[in-house]
């Protein structure tokens, strides 16, 4: 009992230390509010307000119909330009797309010929360029078919395809982006807090004070894990409630209590990684370099940016040893698919196992560093 009482009071000391650091408090507030909102809304999986120009050398009913079909919010209002202005406009980044309709275009369509429409694309924005090109092609084909048939009739095919979007009926990319951003912030801030807490003790000389007290290395490490984990857990819960659910309007299909419980287990694993890095590093500069080496793989290989199945086969087995991969799978299953404990228990057990391994390794390394200091 005395061990846990010592852990509790050491943790309260850690809480006071964190809240007295204004910069750290501002970082936590920003990371779980504005950072989540900006990351969720900055990236779009559809074309939005793309700049477009039209070179209309036909001036026919069909060419005007094509121009009128390119409307917001996918595209800005088309700007009519001359053919000799295309290269200069593209070089000056005035337009992302320029559609060139040749002379006699409508007449050639009437006579059953196959006239060409040129689409000039600024491919520096690769995703928008690719999606926008598909949008423009479909719009032009639809307008030409409507002009030829003089109606909105569609061809009757022998097979009817029925699409059903499960868990995200409208295909809203912001839902996934919000959760991905939140999980990445949890990983980064937890590792920063726990690692910086250990380094702060060493740089301020207070680690020597702890060593002369009747405290074990387990008590010192565990106090930093629970105190910093509690801060992140509260920040996560508030961010889920006010930013993700209220502002971004992301529905939570599963149990919120189960989500908080799984997050608590993941915080234990992430905090253990932070303690490990904080023990290896001797200065904040070294810790920052180690953070870069660790955070990038954790975020890129967790399955948030690209599915695990889409990653190179040589990398996929490595991702199994990352707690972030299993937590990402757990969080997505609970939030979007409404999974319960009978479905996600393998991910929880894996997180516990990996967290125990990282905690044991960090504790052993911390004990060794204490022995050297003494």
| Residue bearing the bigger pLDDT, 373 or 257 | 257
Please give the Cα distance from 232 to 39 (Å, whole number).
19
pLDDT of residue 230: 94
pLDDT for the residue numbered 91: 85
Give the per-residue pLDDT at 10: 84
Read off the pLDDT of residues 19-28 as tens digits, 9 standing for 90 and up.
Answer: 888 988 999 9
Q: Domain spans of the chain?
A: 7-43+171-373, 52-149
Per-residue pLDDT tens over the stretch 136-170:
999 998 888 888 877 555 555 577 777 777 787 77
Residue listed under structure tokens 């955070």: 295
Distance separating alpha carbons of residues 201 and 224, to the nearest angstrom: 11
What is the architecture of the domain spanning 52-149?
Answer: 3-Layer(aba) Sandwich (3.40)
Q: Tell me: the pLDDT tens digits for 137-146?
A: 999 988 888 8
Residue 152's pLDDT is 53
Highest-pLDDT range among 49-53, 113-117, 344-348 = 344-348
Interval 71-90 mean pLDDT: 88
374 pLDDT more than 60: no
pLDDT in tens, 166-186: 787 777 778 888 888 999 999
Residues linked to residue 55 through DSSP beta bridges, in sequence order: 100
At residue 30, the pLDDT reads 93
What confidence category does residue 371 fall into, taking pLDDT thresholds of 50, 70 and 90?
low
Q: d(Cα 303, Cα 150) in Å, to the nearest integer?
A: 48
| pLDDT, tens only, 240-293 | 999 999 998 888 988 999 999 999 999 999 999 999 998 888 888 888 888 888
- For the beta carbon of residue 245, count every other beta carbon within 10 angstroms: 15
* Sheet with strand 52-56: strands edge to edge: 79-80, 52-56, 97-101, 118-121
Q: What is the mean pLDDT of the chain?
A: 86
Position 26 scores a pLDDT of 93
Residue 227 contacts residue 268 (beta carbons within 8 Å): no
Kindly state the tokens that stand for 291: 């953070």
For the ranges 71-75, 122-126, 218-222, 298-302, which has the lowest average pLDDT?
A: 122-126
């Amino acid at each position: 009992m005395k061990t846990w009482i010592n852990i509790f009071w050491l943790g309260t000391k850690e809480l006071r230390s964190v809240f007295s650091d204004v910069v750290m408090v501002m970082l936590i507030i920003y990371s779980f509010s504005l950072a989540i909102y900006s990351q969720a809304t900055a990236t779009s999986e559809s074309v939005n307000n793309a700049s477009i120009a039209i070179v209309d050398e036909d001036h026919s009913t069909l060419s005007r119909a094509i121009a009128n079909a390119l409307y917001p919010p996918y595209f800005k209002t088309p700007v009519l330009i001359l053919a000799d202005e295309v290269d200069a406009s593209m070089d000056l980044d005035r337009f992302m797309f320029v559609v060139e309709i040749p002379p006699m275009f409508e007449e050639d369509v009437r006579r059953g010929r196959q006239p060409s429409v040129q689409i000039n694309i600024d491919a520096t924005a690769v995703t928008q360029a690719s999606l926008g090109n598909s949008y423009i092609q479909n719009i032009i084909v639809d307008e030409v078919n409507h002009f030829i048939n003089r109606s909105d009739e569609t061809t009757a095919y022998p097979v009817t395809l029925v699409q059903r979007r499960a868990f995200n009926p409208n295909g809203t990319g912001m839902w996934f982006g919000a959760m991905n951003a939140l999980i990445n912030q949890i990983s980064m801030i937890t590792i920063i807090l726990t690692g910086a807490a250990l380094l702060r003790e060493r740089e301020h000389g207070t680690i020597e004070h702890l060593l002369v007290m009747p405290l074990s290395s387990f008590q010192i490490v565990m106090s930093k894990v629970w105190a910093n984990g509690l801060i992140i857990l509260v920040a996560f819960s508030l961010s889920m409630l006010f930013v993700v659910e209220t502002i971004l309007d992301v529905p939570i299909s599963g149990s919120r209590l189960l989500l908080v419980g799984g997050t608590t287990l993941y915080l234990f694993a992430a905090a253990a990684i932070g303690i490990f890095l904080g023990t290896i590093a001797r200065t904040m500069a070294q810790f920052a370099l180690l953070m870069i080496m660790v955070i990038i793989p954790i975020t890129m290989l967790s399955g948030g940016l690209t599915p695990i199945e889409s990653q190179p086969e040589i990398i996929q087995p490595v991702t199994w040893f990352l707690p972030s991969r299993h937590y990402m799978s757990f969080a997505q299953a609970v939030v979007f698919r409404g999974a319960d404990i009978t479905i996600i228990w393998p991910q929880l057990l894996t997180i516990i196992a990996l967290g125990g391994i990282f905690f044991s390794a960090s504790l052993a390394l911390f004990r060794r560093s204490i022995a050297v200091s003494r």
